[in-house]
Amino acid sequence: MPSSEREIHWPARRARARQIAIVEQSAREVVVGAVGDLPPGATRKFLLPAAGEPVEAFVVNVDGTLRAWVNRCRHVPLTMDWVENRFLDDRGFIVCATHGARYRPDTGECVGGPPIGRRLIGVPLRVEDGRVLATVPDEL
């Protein structure tokens, strides 16, 4: 297993009941990796612990700044990676594999394709002890 996958924290179901009291404050957060793990232009998928069932999201390094988005196109709510875990075209836009919508990786705004003008659902990130944590957005 690559080291990047080992760092993704996802509590096992059997341990959930035991962990609720301990992680209640962070029940809507997940560790997506270590700071510095993701080089500029790279993307990495992770699962958000949303109510009901986990929701796929991804983090992208945009010129040294990490941004994260729910992996759900704003045209039709489908995942967007055109090859597993690949989101960016050669100009650095996030591209939806289904109908080719293009989104800015820094703002999530659609700049081409059917959902033009709409924005991806942003995932708040924060850094703690060298780890990058993602929070389930209120919109989910």
What percent helix, strand, coil does the chain show, rounded to 5?
A: 15, 35, 55
- Among residues 39 and 77, whose Cβ is nearest to ligand FES? 77
Cα 48 from Cα 37, distance rounded (Å): 19
- Assess 68 for contact with ligand FES (CB under 6 A): no
- Among residues 11 and 122, whose Cβ is nearest to ligand FES? 122
Question: Under a CB-based contact definition with an 8 Å cutoff, are residues 33 and 4 in contact?
Answer: yes
- Assess 73 for contact with ligand FES (CB under 6 A): yes
**Side-chain half-sphere CA neighbours of 65 within 13 A:** 5
- Assess 114 for contact with ligand FES (CB under 6 A): yes
- Assess 11 for contact with ligand FES (CB under 6 A): no
Binding site for ligand FES (CB under 6 A): 73, 75-76, 78, 96, 98-99, 101, 113-114
